[in-house]
Amino acid sequence: MVGFILFIVACLSFCITTPISILYGIWNAGVRFRKYAISIDQTINAISCPLLSKLLLKDNTLTEFGDMDKTISYNLGKNKHFKNLNLAGLLVCNCLHLIDKNHVEKAYEQNI
């Protein structure tokens, strides 16, 4: 029960502080947006571990999503390297490649 209450407090804190922080980031020339993106990405990776693993990886893959200190891009890059991505995972990699050339490969190499 305590864990659930802490979860609610964290969600409320996130909802209150995030819009203010984004506006502050814009005001300060957006220097923190990359850090915001990495933080959000790591959070989604941790929360959505079973879903991402099911949707983007081949069956029986040992290298799954979920590490709180890694991004989704890192996991995509790692699994691409080991040829564990299914068609949907490869499609996500290709979409990210259109935005940032070799994005998942760089994330894996840089250990982000």
The amino acid occupying position 19 is P
Count of domains for the chain: 2
Predicted TM-score (pTM) of this structure:
0.80
pLDDT, residue 52, reads 95
Residue ranges of the chain whose pLDDT lies below 50 = none
Do 73 and 48 sit in the same domain of this protein?
yes
Do 101 and 50 sit in the same domain of this protein?
yes
Do 64 and 85 sit in the same domain of this protein?
yes
Q: How far is CA 69 from CA 47, 74, 75, 77, in A?
A: 12, 10, 11, 15
From CA 44, how far away is CA 40, in angstroms rounded? 6
Do 52 and 104 sit in the same domain of this protein?
yes
pLDDT, residue 27, reads 74
Do 70 and 105 sit in the same domain of this protein?
yes
Do 41 and 63 sit in the same domain of this protein?
yes
**Across all residues in the chain, what is the average pLDDT?**
90
Go through the chain and tell me how many residues it has: 112
pLDDT, residue 30, reads 62
pLDDT, residue 96, reads 96
User: What's the domain range around 15?
Assistant: 1-31
